């Protein structure tokens, strides 16, 4: 059997800069990219569109299995509609965090996530990439930044996209989501023993990208 394609797993809390760092690492290496959080956001959005309750685990799992989601380099489509920006709205963030706490939903998304592992390699961004989805990843990174810095980054992102945002609300939402993501029973957010922790507070994105690339090349 041939060796599976290498995986760089990048896990960490919301707005830690994971998405940007993971994307740039993938670009630098010519690797595929998995934004696993987008899958949970898509399930949440599809559920809201269809009027499915956010605690109806069997219905949500069925939805996750059948999700008509398409990713290309810059857009994400749900049921054929471009939802690239819409899935980043705060109401979807809150709903995604609820559906992500349900084990049947996580199970339903497992095969879909693993299918992204193709040559020449994959950079996978999420919460449980190193612990559950790709436990044999070549390199596991746990990327963090303090909550206030993460709220500032989220604020900047939303304002740049022309959306409205309030710092105090964002900070509270980030703290609530951290608590929910870390305390849930199903695949809680935590650093794996074999992950390298990178704190990006006050560090420019390109420096974080360079650190990840150096760690990967050193493997």
Nearer to ligand DC, 2 or 154 (CB): 154
Are residues 54 and 105 in contact, defined by beta-carbon separation less than 8 angstroms? no
Nearer to ligand DC, 14 or 211 (CB): 14
Told to check if 195 binds ligand DC by CB under 6 A, we report: no
Are residues 194 and 139 in contact, defined by beta-carbon separation less than 8 angstroms? no
Point out the residue whose Cβ comes nearest to ligand DC: 37
Are residues 203 and 146 in contact, defined by beta-carbon separation less than 8 angstroms? no
Exactly one of 8, 22, 23, 37 binds ligand DC (CB under 6 A); that residue is 37
Cα 202 to Cα 205: distance, rounded to the nearest angstrom: 9
Q: Find, among 6, 4, 9, the residue nearest to 125 by Cα.
A: 9
Nearer to ligand DC, 36 or 144 (CB): 36
Are residues 122 and 33 in contact, defined by beta-carbon separation less than 8 angstroms? yes
Nearer to ligand DC, 15 or 209 (CB): 15
CB of 218 to ligand DC, least distance (A): 25
Told to check if 97 binds ligand DC by CB under 6 A, we report: yes
- In our burial notation (b when 16+ CB lie closer than 10 A, e otherwise), range 88-103 reads bbbebbebbbbbbbbe
The dihedral built from the CA positions of residue 32, 76, 105 and 153, taken in this order, carries a sign that is positive
Cα 114 to Cα 176: distance, rounded to the nearest angstrom: 29
CB within 8 A of 199, min separation 6: which ones?
144, 145
Exactly one of 6, 36, 67, 134 binds ligand DC (CB under 6 A); that residue is 36
Nearer to ligand DC, 2 or 134 (CB): 134
Applying CB under 6 A, the site for ligand DC has a residue count of 13
Told to check if 14 binds ligand DC by CB under 6 A, we report: yes
Nearer to ligand DC, 29 or 34 (CB): 34
CB of 64 to ligand DC, least distance (A): 12
Q: Binders of ligand DC among 157-186, rule CB under 6 A?
A: 177, 181
What are the CA-CA distances from residue 154 to residues 66, 87, 165, 176 (Å)? 30, 14, 9, 15
Told to check if 12 binds ligand DC by CB under 6 A, we report: no
Q: Binders of ligand DC among 115-154, rule CB under 6 A?
A: 126-128
Q: Which residues bind ligand DC (CB under 6 A)?
A: 14, 36-37, 40-41, 96-97, 100, 126-128, 177, 181
């Amino acid at each position: 059997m041939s060796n599976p394609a290498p995986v760089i797993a990048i896990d960490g809390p919301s707005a830690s800069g994971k998405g940007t760092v993971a994307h740039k690492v993938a670009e630098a290496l010519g690797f595929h990219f998995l934004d696993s959080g987008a899958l949970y956001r898509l399930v949440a959005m599809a559920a809201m569109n269809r009027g499915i309750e956010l605690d109806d685990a069997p219905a949500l799992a069925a939805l996750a299995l059948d999700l008509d989601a398409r990713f290309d380099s810059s857009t994400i489509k749900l049921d054929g509609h471009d939802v690239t920006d819409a899935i980043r709205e705060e109401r979807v963030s809150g709903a995604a965090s609820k559906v992500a706490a349900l084990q049947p939903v996580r199970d339903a998304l497992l095969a879909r996530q693993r299918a992204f592992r193709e040559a020449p390699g994959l950079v996978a961004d999420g919460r449980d990439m190193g612990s559950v989805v790709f436990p044999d990843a070549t390199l596991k990174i746990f990327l963090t930044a303090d909550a206030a810095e993460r709220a500032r980054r989220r604020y900047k992102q939303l304002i740049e996209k022309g959306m409205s945002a309030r710092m105090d609300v964002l900070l509270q939402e980030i703290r609530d989501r951290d608590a929910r993501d870390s305390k849930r029973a199903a695949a809680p957010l935590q650093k794996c023993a074999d992950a390298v922790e990178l704190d990006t507070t006050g560090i420019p994105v390109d420096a974080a990208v360079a650190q990840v690339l150096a760690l990967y090349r050193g493997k």
